[in-house]
Amino acid sequence: MEIKFEKETGLFTISNSKISYIMQLVKNNYLAHVYYGKKIDDFNPYCSYYEVEHEGAPQPFDYPEGRIFSLECLPQEMPAYGCGDFKYPAVQVRLDNGTTSLDLRYESHEILKGKNKTKNLPSSYVNNEEDALTLVITLKEVGGKLKVKLYYTVFENESLIVRSSEIINTSDKEQKLHQLASMCLDFADGSFDRVHMYGSHANERNIDRVPLNHGIDVVSSARGATSHQHNNFLALCSKDATEEHGEVYASTLVWSGNFEAVTELSCYGYTRMVMGINSFDFEWILKPGESFTAPEAVIVYADNGFNGMSRSFHHFVKEHIVRGRWKDQLRPVLANSWEAAYFDFDQDSIVRFARDAIALGVELIVLDDGWFGHRDNDKTSLGDWTIINKKKLPYGISGLCDEIHHLGAKFGLWIEPEMISHDSELFKAHPDWALSVPDHKRSTGRDQYVLDLSRKDVRDYVVESISTVLSSASIDYVKWDMNRNLTEIGSLSFPEKQQGEIATRYVLGLYDIVERITSRFENILFESCSGGGRRFDMGMLCYMPQVWTSDNTDAVARQRIQYGTSYLYPPVTMGAHVSAVPNHQLNRITSMLTRFTCAMSGNFGYEMDLGKLSPQEQEEVKYQIGIYKKYRETLQTGDFIRLISPFEGNRNETSWSFVSKDQSEVILMYFRNLVQNGMPLTRIRFKGLKQGAKYQCVVHECPSVLSVKHEMSGQVFSAEYLENRGLIMDKCDSDFAAHLYVLKEVK
């Protein structure tokens, strides 16, 4: 791992054993982007491709040597508008003189050990200073009013870099920031496809791949959160890229609010990718001496396709994003009351629900929504966290918690701290605490308003009231929900000129409260949720090590949702539960095996009343939980590899596998959703096995639960056989079928 600057050539080289990221100072100190990709040891600084004459391309004021240099054709690190570059910028400021032209030139740099912490924002980290190096480059705007600092961190073992930026008002007047991107990646060439993840509630993170078109394409959220609709992820890949082959440049933000991911293919064939807080409807007033910091961008380079990209993201999330007590701890099997009871429960019914689940092996009982105020439906009481519903829970949260502990399980609770119901004591006392704009009535979403987290008094109330509940009992787990998009984004406590800051201040306020609460209750396992997967992002993962992936628990729909989510996030972060049939979202009936196979591919649990199953089904569940626990380590810590995409072809199939860290255990999941006569057989070639090793299919007693074909049971295969010849998936003779193979290394 190394960061170096060579004065003679102006080259900055950031590298580790996998990647090199190279920049160069050119033509009176512009910071050009030169290369990002596989490591190059000896980089030749010769570079002339930006010296081309294009009619009409402007020259900088201090470039007297003819017409062959223009910002129009210079790949840059922090491009701005107004001095010759007409492409989508990375920074925009309306200066106090009313204009927006920015000319940023290199001023200085420093190389630091370790990883900088991003001010007021969640950020990636290293435990040991020796594991990362950070380059800070300061650019100065020629007019003298602004400076921009660019941060680049390289990690010892990661095929990625982390970037962020900071803008500083060095003038004695206020300046108005309209955009500060976290990253920009400029290519002078390239023929890319653009990949992103779109969706909707209960249909999150579908993979979308399209050829990059000329002009500007934007993927964004203006909903106040990352959103169900578009995840804050964007990749550019070579045309031939598949799961295993081809080049991928992929970026995501350590951020949970409005974002934009912009690509532009210029008419000269230059490609630009910019990511950061959404510049649409964004403003930030920089007073003299003040600065604003953009969230981190994590930028992966992979030369081995999308599985290679995901391996890098997964490793990074596990090692440098998730932190705290639960980082390396195996996660418990949970049963959640939501789809089992919704709002219709009391102490006795939850204790019965818990007893039945615990008897089958469940380790954590979660009481979902409906335990406070008079919340018997979703129209009321949000905000009244300290008013426990004594009709339902006569002994309070502590009474229930003690009872569950007594039964031998951990206890978890649902909260939705960012919200306020119109019908609540909190709203009666503080109607001004909800986000609102003058002369408008507030829109509702799920009949609730959003608290104005830009206000310190509101944040203090949230921290205090939630802390009161969490200290009232020995709570082991919290599900932190957030069920609506932000509208009428305004704050009564900020002046007019700062209203453009409120959407951003909301997210900064959110980080303030989650930081205070999660650090105060550091033993609690927090699961982030936002109507399912609205806020599945690395920002929240810095505080909460797992996320409820989607409100859709149907095992067929979940194949797409979990496949897409796995582009960025390791399965241990993805809550996935077996639910009742017919499924509550889609009415579909699938087998217990299919539901189990899908749910065990994430952070496993149940979302149903296990006491209502037949004795035979309960036996099956008990067996499932035993199987899950047996392979939990591989499922939660192993490598996840996608094998067949549900987004490609019309084969109605999905497959993925888990390989333990030491490659001695392999678990393969295969789903076939619709059968038809004469259906071709599918051969699955394994990936990521230990070369030279031999693997045996493990035999289990209960083939209806663990589907190992009889003739395969006990069979031994070489890694080379499994990777090249593979296994044929037959015997899927009904709709929505699944196969679950476990292979163990034999010496």
CB of 446 vs ligand DGJ, minimal distance in Å: 8
Mark the segment that binds ligand DGJ (CB under 6 A) among 278-286, 354-362, 516-524, 525-533: 525-533
Q: Which is nearer to ligand DGJ, 107 or 378 (CB)?
A: 378
The one among 526, 548, 628, 658 contacting ligand DGJ by CB under 6 A: 548
Select from 122, 121, 116 the least CA-distant residue to 161.
Answer: 116
For residue 294, the SS3 value is: coil
Q: Which is nearer to ligand DGJ, 598 or 727 (CB)?
A: 598
What is the spatial distance between Cα 30 and Cα 104, in angstroms, rounded to a whole number? 7
Q: Looking at 131, 551, 609, 639, which residue is catalytic?
A: 551
Select from 427, 538, 524, 434 the least CA-distant residue to 480.
Answer: 524
Cis geometry, peptide bond prior to residue 582 (ω within 30 degrees of 0)? yes
The phi-psi region of residue 616 (left if phi > 0; otherwise alpha if psi is between -120 and 50; otherwise beta) is alpha
Give alpha helix (H) positions in 286-417.
Answer: 305-316, 338-341, 347-359, 396-407
CB of 579 vs ligand DGJ, minimal distance in Å: 11
Q: Which is nearer to ligand DGJ, 293 or 549 (CB)?
A: 549
The one among 204, 551, 620, 639 contacting ligand DGJ by CB under 6 A: 551
Mark the segment that binds ligand DGJ (CB under 6 A) among 157-165, 233-241, 526-534, 592-600: 526-534
Select from 299, 318, 315 the least CA-distant residue to 307.
Answer: 315
Report if residue 658 touches ligand DGJ, rule: CB under 6 A. no
Structure tokens at 650: 């019309």
The one among 158, 481, 554, 665 contacting ligand DGJ by CB under 6 A: 481
Q: Looking at 85, 356, 368, 481, which residue is catalytic?
A: 481
Burial class (CB within 10 angstroms; exposed 0-12, middle 13-18, buried 19+) of 474: middle
Q: Which is nearer to ligand DGJ, 316 or 414 (CB)?
A: 414
Structure tokens at 720: 């080379």
Q: Which is nearer to ligand DGJ, 204 or 356 (CB)?
A: 204
CB of 537 vs ligand DGJ, minimal distance in Å: 16
Site for ligand DGJ in 336-395 (CB under 6 A): 338, 368-369, 378
Residue nearest to ligand DGJ (CB): 369
Active site residue 481: yes
DSSP result, 239-279: TT--SSSB-EEEEEES--S-EEEEEEE-TTS-EEEEEEE--
CB of 370 vs ligand DGJ, minimal distance in Å: 8
CB of 428 vs ligand DGJ, minimal distance in Å: 22
H or E segment and range at residue 220: strand 215-221
CB atoms within 10 A of CB 66: 9
What is the per-residue binding string for ligand DGJ in 270-309, x denoting contact by CB under 6 A? ----------------------------------------
CA dihedral 707, 712, 713, 719 (to 10 degrees): -100
Mark the segment that binds ligand DGJ (CB under 6 A) among 78-86, 167-175, 524-532, 538-546: 524-532
Select from 445, 392, 446, 451 the least CA-distant residue to 426.
Answer: 451
Q: Which is nearer to ligand DGJ, 339 or 501 (CB)?
A: 339
Judge contact between 602 and 575, C-beta under 8 A.
yes
CB of 296 vs ligand DGJ, minimal distance in Å: 27
Select from 97, 236, 114 the least CA-distant residue to 171.
Answer: 97
The one among 532, 539, 571, 602 contacting ligand DGJ by CB under 6 A: 532
Q: Which is nearer to ligand DGJ, 413 or 644 (CB)?
A: 413
Q: Which is nearer to ligand DGJ, 301 or 548 (CB)?
A: 548
What is the spatial distance between Cα 440 and Cα 450, in angstroms, rounded to a whole number? 15
Mark the segment that binds ligand DGJ (CB under 6 A) among 84-92, 168-176, 528-536, 738-746: 528-536
Report if residue 414 touches ligand DGJ, rule: CB under 6 A. yes
Mark the segment that binds ligand DGJ (CB under 6 A) among 76-84, 109-117, 273-281, 527-535: 527-535
Residues with Cβ within 8 Å of 436's Cβ and at least 6 positions away in sequence, in order, are 442, 452, 488, 490, 492
Site for ligand DGJ in 482-521 (CB under 6 A): 483
- Measured CA to CA in angstroms, residue 414 lies from 11, 580, 583 at distances of 52, 20, 22
Residue count at the site for ligand DGJ (CB under 6 A)?
A: 12
CA dihedral 390, 396, 402, 406 (to 10 degrees): 0
Q: Which is nearer to ligand DGJ, 347 or 585 (CB)?
A: 585
- Measured CA to CA in angstroms, residue 455 lies from 174, 311, 396, 458 at distances of 22, 40, 30, 5
Report if residue 529 touches ligand DGJ, rule: CB under 6 A. yes
CB of 479 vs ligand DGJ, minimal distance in Å: 6
Q: Which amino acid is at 15?
A: S
Q: Which is nearer to ligand DGJ, 203 or 655 (CB)?
A: 203
The one among 531, 545, 605, 638 contacting ligand DGJ by CB under 6 A: 531
CB of 556 vs ligand DGJ, minimal distance in Å: 19
Judge contact between 534 and 225, C-beta under 8 A.
yes
Q: Which is nearer to ligand DGJ, 241 or 426 (CB)?
A: 426
Q: Which is nearer to ligand DGJ, 72 or 339 (CB)?
A: 339
CB of 575 vs ligand DGJ, minimal distance in Å: 9
CB of 336 vs ligand DGJ, minimal distance in Å: 7
CB atoms within 10 A of CB 513: 22
Please say whether the dihedral angle defined by the alpha carbons of residues 42, 45, 48 and 49, taken in this order, is positive or negative. positive
Report if residue 553 touches ligand DGJ, rule: CB under 6 A. no
Q: Which is nearer to ligand DGJ, 298 or 341 (CB)?
A: 341
DSSP result, 515-563: HHHHHHTTTSEEEE-BTTBTT-SHHHHTT-SEEE--S---TTHHHHHHH
The phi-psi region of residue 431 (left if phi > 0; otherwise alpha if psi is between -120 and 50; otherwise beta) is alpha
CB of 421 vs ligand DGJ, minimal distance in Å: 12
CB atoms within 10 A of CB 83: 17
CB of 603 vs ligand DGJ, minimal distance in Å: 14
Select from 739, 559, 706, 714 the least CA-distant residue to 626.
Answer: 706
Judge contact between 126 and 93, C-beta under 8 A.
no
What is the spatial distance between Cα 540 and Cα 562, in angstroms, rounded to a whole number? 18
Site for ligand DGJ in 35-94 (CB under 6 A): none
Active site residue 172: no
CB of 416 vs ligand DGJ, minimal distance in Å: 7
Contact residues: ligand DGJ, CB under 6 A: 338, 368-369, 378, 414, 481, 483, 529, 531-532, 548, 551
Question: Which are the catalytic amino acids?
Answer: 481, 551
